[in-house]
Structure 1
Amino acid sequence: MDEDSRYEAVRSRDGRFDGAFFFAVGTTGIYCRPSCPAVTPKRRNVRFFPTAAAAQGAGFRACRRCRPDAVPGSAEWNVRADVVGRAVRLIADGVVDREGVAGLAARLGYSARQVQRQLTGELGAGPVALARAQRAHTARVLLQTTGLPVTEIGFAAGFASVRQFNDTVRAVYAATPSELRAAAPRGGRAARRTATPTAGIPLRLAHRGPYRPGPVFDLLEREAVKGIEDVTGIPGTRTYRRTLRLPYGTGITAVDEHPGTAHTGSGAHPGGWLDARIHLTDLRDLTTAVQRLRRLFDLDADPYAVDERLGADTRLAPLVAARPGLRSPGTADPDELAVRALVGRDEAARLVQRYGKTLDAPCGTLTHLFPEPAALAGAEPEGALGALTAALADGAVRLDPGADRDDAADALRAVPGLDARTIAGIRTRALGDPDVAPPGPDLPDSWRPWRSYALNHLRAAGELEYS
């Protein structure tokens, strides 16, 4: 898009582009999402930015009306397999907060200077600025949805000091943390009375465009492993729950099937959200937990781009028309997904009961964490399972958000006992690759770069079996 077409998207309040770019108004010092309901500013006063961090770095503060920090992530950076896309996924997972820029660069195999240059060139902000914007958003969520002390929230959001926390919140939101808390929407104030680390933090996981939760929840229910997952309720009102192993502790999360809808923008399906609640033993894990849920439910996808390409195909057109916004689910734990893809549901349940760590505070049927690769490699070193878990444990196979997809696939092919279909499933789900073609009939090139989504349409229509 050029700047004129971006301005047209702003003028029509087109929610399809929320998260794809941001605009700022020089006369007010505020930046917004394209679908902001405020009066459209004059073209000469508008500047465009690829990220919220870039707008913040230019001195603009977030609009209190459209809350641009809460939009879905850009689909481009989550789909791309290059160093910029990999870096953005790692930053979203909290790597800069935990390991610094040097740690991010080491994971990518580049120097810190190279990473800074590439991110700044494409995103208008470096890794520190991108992480800072993410910390500010986490802080706002905690301020407006929990009753935690302000000082505790600053450290939970990832800030190194109270002063850094206060300065960042003032710069991004033009308000002190206490003022930001007082300005919470009515729903946030009501939730704050009961939201604690033990009661859970209520969240809205935003998505753009239409979203078809039914097939996603069908898949999760079909695959649910006893002890770490469960799905309750009837289709249309189900709740998916699971345990999470996180960098600082553990978590239990619940996500509801029935989506909320945001009636903004000019499109028929401007976007919406899935309601979630996250229980954490350490609040510093909030950002990471949210990002892992977003990958699991494929919430940062661009359904408009997917449906436009696949809907132009004669075979797929009626399937896309019947299920607009169908997603390609990922995983909350890539290593776990790889093991489960190899051994299947029943064997995975056995591994959980035998080797999984028991939660300090079980919640109903959720009693365990999935065993770590190192524990499995030591306990059952033989066969394909032993080979895979050893490769995951020693880093020969990397499936984290910053992993190179081609390198990971090559490493998986070197693991004895993994067939091509299993590797394709791991690449689709664990690595979030939108364009995977498993062995079998050739898939048309016209389905690229969305072949993973095309296969999900065929499965949902009963034309292809789930494997």
Structure 2
Amino acid sequence: MDDRSRYEAVSSRDARFDGAFFFAVVTTGIYCRPSCPAVTPRRANVRFYPTAAAAQAGGFRACRRCRPDAVPGSAEWNVRADAVGRAMRLIGDGVVDREGVPGLAGRLGYSARQVQRQLNAELGAGPVALARAQRAHTARVLLQTTVLPVTEIAFAAGFASVRQFNDTIRRIYARTPSALRAEAGTGLGGGRATGLRAGIPLRLAHRGPYAARAVFDLLGEGAVARVEELTGEPGRRTYRRTLRLPYGTGIVAVDEASPGPWLEARIHLTDLRDLTTAVQRLRRLFDLDADPYAVDEALAADPRLAPLVAARPGVRSPGAADPEEEAVRALVGRERAAELVERYGKVLDVPCGALTHVFPEPGVLAGAAPDPALRTLAAALADGQLRLDAGADRAEAEDVLATLPGVDRRTAALIRMRALGDPDVDPYGTPGAERWRPWRSYAVRHLETAVREAAPPAGRGHPQSSAPSQAPATSRQANSSTSVA
């Protein structure tokens, strides 16, 4: 896009571009999302920025009306495999907060100066500024949805000091933390405020249509006992699971039904410092930063997929809440994964209904699992030979997977699709799939969803991303569906 087309998007309040760029108004000192309902400013007074952090660095504060800090992330970072794309995924996962810029640079294989230069040149902000913008958003959520003391919120959001926290909130929101909290209604969240026991309520924003049924069907059919569950009737279901996080554990619940362009969620954490990471991992699991407009437009150009896209706009390609867990599950299947949880998983200090364990860490499986192929995979994950974190190089990870015994091409592709969130993977070698680039993962999900919904309930098996032993049959079904369409 150029500035002319960006201004056209702002003038038409086009929500398709929320998160893709931001605009600021020099006469008000405020920056907004493109769909902001306020009166469209004169073009001469508008400046465009690729990130919220860049707008903040330019001296602009967040609009109170459209809340630009709460938009979905740019879909570009899911697609790109270069250093900037990988850096943005790592910053989202909280790496800068935990390891600083040197830690981020080390994971990318660059010097800190190179990372700083590349991010500034392309995004208008360096890694510290990008992380600070993310911390501010986390702090606003905690201020307006919990009754936690402001001091606790400052450190939970990742700030190094209360003074830094206060200064950042004032600069970005033009209010003190106390005033920001009071805006929620009562000064304690407007009746929505909660403690940790009730969980932190969140709205996980997405852009465009969202085919929730297909996502929840997939997650429910692949759910591993004691770690995951799907409850409720179709259309009103809740997906719940446990998380292993950098500072502790968590339990999350996400509702299928929603009154707006978001998914309602609740997060229970043993350590609030994990909030940012937990949110980003949920966003990857539910593929909330995707651009359904671009995906659907590209796939609908194929006559074989056009009817499927028309029937189910906004189909997503779910990622993984825990990439290492997803790799193990892709290798051993759902039932075997449940056995591993029961035998080697960490028991929660406070179980929550059917959720009692956290999936076992690779280091535990590397030293104890009876299956040689599983031990080798777990050892590669534990010692860093195989990296599946948010900033991993997807091609390098697939090369490593190809050297591991027991990991065939299809299993490696499934790991790349789910654990690494690659939008362009066809695990089954579907004829004609090349024309679906760069959205082959979404085309595969369309075919799988059509097969799943056409099958009688008793005949619905577990999705192949959790049980690769069933993938050949599913592949034949998908190919059949393709030829018929």
Q: TM-score range by the shorter chain?
A: over 0.9
- Equivalent residue, structure 2, for 1:157: 157
Deviation at 1:363, TM superposition (A): 0.3
- Equivalent residue, structure 1, for 2:129: 129
Aligned with 2:190: secondary structure? helix
- Equivalent residue, structure 1, for 2:223: 224
**Within 2, Cα distance between the matches of 1:156 and 1:443?**
49
Which of residues 375, 379, 385 is equivalent to 2:368? 379
Matches within 5 A, 1:266-345: 272-345=261-334
Deviations 1:115-152 (A, max 9, x none): 00111111110000000000000000000111111111
Which amino acid in structure 2 is aligned with residue 148 of structure 1? L
Contact kept in structure 1, 2:230 and 2:240, CA below 8 Å: yes
**Within 1, Cα distance between the matches of 2:134 and 2:433?**
39
Aligned with 2:192: secondary structure? helix
Deviation at 1:382, TM superposition (A): 4.2
Which amino acid in structure 1 is aligned with residue 67 of structure 2? R
Instruction: Return the TM-score normalized by structure 1.
Output: 0.96
Where do 5+ consecutive residues of structure 1 fail to align? 262-271
Which amino acid in structure 1 is aligned with residue 232 of structure 2? G
Deviation at 1:442, TM superposition (A): 3.1
Greater shift, 375-384 or 444-453, is seen at 375-384
**Within 1, Cα distance between the matches of 2:63 and 2:99?**
31
Contact kept in structure 2, 1:31 and 1:61, CA below 8 Å: yes
Contact kept in structure 1, 2:181 and 2:189, CA below 8 Å: no
Contact kept in structure 1, 2:72 and 2:288, CA below 8 Å: yes
Which amino acid in structure 2 is aligned with residue 293 of structure 1? L
Percent of pairs identical after alignment? Answer: 75
**Within 2, Cα distance between the matches of 1:112 and 1:131?**
15
Which of residues 449, 453, 462 is equivalent to 2:438? 449
- Equivalent residue, structure 2, for 1:199: 198
Deviations 1:199-225 (A, max 9, x none): 200000000000011011101110111
- Equivalent residue, structure 2, for 1:242: 241
Contact kept in structure 2, 1:381 and 1:387, CA below 8 Å: no
Aligned with 2:113: secondary structure? helix
Deviation at 1:440, TM superposition (A): 2.9
Contact kept in structure 2, 1:144 and 1:181, CA below 8 Å: yes
- Equivalent residue, structure 2, for 1:268: none
- Equivalent residue, structure 1, for 2:458: none
Aligned with 1:208: secondary structure? coil
**Within 2, Cα distance between the matches of 1:23 and 1:132?**
19
Which amino acid in structure 1 is aligned with residue 270 of structure 2? T
Residue 413 of structure 2 is aligned to residue 424 of structure 1:
yes
**Within 1, Cα distance between the matches of 2:422 and 2:377?**
20
- Equivalent residue, structure 1, for 2:207: 208
Residues 444 and 370 (structure 1), Cα distance of their counterparts in 2 relative to 1, 3 Å cut: closer
- Equivalent residue, structure 1, for 2:457: none
Residue 395 of structure 2 is aligned to residue 406 of structure 1:
yes
Aligned with 1:37: secondary structure? coil
Aligned with 2:35: secondary structure? coil
Deviation at 1:445, TM superposition (A): 2.7
Instruction: Return the TM-score normalized by structure 2.
Output: 0.92
Deviation at 1:188, TM superposition (A): 4.5
- Equivalent residue, structure 2, for 1:44: 44
Which amino acid in structure 1 is aligned with residue 192 of structure 2? A
Which amino acid in structure 1 is aligned with residue 62 of structure 2? A
Contact kept in structure 1, 2:93 and 2:277, CA below 8 Å: yes
Which of residues 357, 361, 376 is equivalent to 2:350? 361
**Within 2, Cα distance between the matches of 1:96 and 1:170?**
22
**Within 2, Cα distance between the matches of 1:370 and 1:362?**
14
Deviation at 1:183, TM superposition (A): 1.1
**Within 2, Cα distance between the matches of 1:444 and 1:146?**
48
Contact kept in structure 2, 1:230 and 1:242, CA below 8 Å: yes
Contact kept in structure 2, 1:213 and 1:259, CA below 8 Å: no
**Within 2, Cα distance between the matches of 1:224 and 1:190?**
34
Residue 179 of structure 2 is aligned to residue 190 of structure 1:
no
**Within 1, Cα distance between the matches of 2:225 and 2:93?**
26
Deviations 1:47-66 (A, max 9, x none): 00000000000000000000
Aligned with 1:243: secondary structure? strand
**Within 2, Cα distance between the matches of 1:304 and 1:323?**
12
- Equivalent residue, structure 1, for 2:9: 9
- Equivalent residue, structure 2, for 1:265: none
Greater shift, 118-127 or 377-386, is seen at 377-386
**Within 2, Cα distance between the matches of 1:399 and 1:360?**
27
**Within 1, Cα distance between the matches of 2:279 and 2:432?**
33
Contact kept in structure 2, 1:292 and 1:332, CA below 8 Å: yes
Contact kept in structure 2, 1:229 and 1:243, CA below 8 Å: yes
Contact kept in structure 1, 2:78 and 2:423, CA below 8 Å: no
Which of residues 431, 437, 440 is equivalent to 2:426? 437
Deviation at 1:381, TM superposition (A): 5.6
Which of residues 378, 388, 391 is equivalent to 1:389? 378
Deviation at 1:437, TM superposition (A): 1.7
Matches within 5 A, 1:58-97: 58-97=58-97
Deviations 1:210-247 (A, max 9, x none): 00110111011101111111110011000000000111
Aligned with 2:404: secondary structure? coil
Where do 5+ consecutive residues of structure 2 fail to align? 455-460, 465-485
Which amino acid in structure 2 is aligned with residue 366 of structure 1? L
Deviation at 1:185, TM superposition (A): 5.8
Which amino acid in structure 2 is aligned with residue 287 of structure 1? T
Aligned residues: 455
Which amino acid in structure 1 is aligned with residue 388 of structure 2? L
**Within 2, Cα distance between the matches of 1:355 and 1:402?**
27
- Equivalent residue, structure 2, for 1:57: 57
Aligned with 2:44: secondary structure? helix
Which amino acid in structure 2 is aligned with residue 234 of structure 1? E
Deviation at 1:441, TM superposition (A): 3.2
- Equivalent residue, structure 2, for 1:251: 250
- Equivalent residue, structure 2, for 1:267: none
Contact kept in structure 2, 1:420 and 1:439, CA below 8 Å: no
